Amino acid sequence: MDISPERRGLLLLDGCATHVNLEFVEMCRKAGLDVLLRPPHTTHRLQPEDTSCFSMFKTGVGREKNHHIGKAMMMGRSPRVKFGDWMGIICEPFRTTFTAQNVLRAWAHVGIRPFTRRVFHSLLQEETLAAQAKTRAARTTPM
């Protein structure tokens, strides 16, 4: 898919403040990417690719890295993985992991696609229960 200011794309990020700054957002906008930040600490509900796709990706990268090291050793080269080797190592695992089918399946698993309010009601319920537990604990803590 070609992204441009005329043919925009969407970049989903986890909302962690260390991952995003104004300069980055402006660069994305100029390139044709709209940035959507998800609330932090909601990985289990709103960032299903963290719990499904990335584990598959890490497995694939490990496999490719081991293959790279084995090949280097067979050729009598240093088994050390250099900075310039990483793009070749991660390319195939990335291509096979982050497919539309895998991402949509992960989203469906947590209820993001097709959209349901179940995810947001669950988050609200968890927050309410945590707040109630905190209030009870504060009342029962001896001074």
pLDDT per residue as tens digits for the range 48-71: 787 788 889 999 999 999 999 999
Q: What pLDDT, on a 0 to 100 scale, did the predictor assign at position 74?
A: 95
- 62-103 pLDDT, tens digit per residue, is 999 999 999 999 999 999 999 999 999 999 999 999 998 998
Select the more confidently predicted residue: 7 or 124. Answer: 7
97 class by beta-carbon count within 10 Å (0-12 exposed, 13-18 middle, 19+ buried)? buried
Distance (Å) of CA 139 to CA 83, 131, 133: 55, 12, 10
For residue 73, give the amino acid letter. Answer: M
Which of the four pLDDT bands, split at 50, 70 and 90, describes residue 126? confident
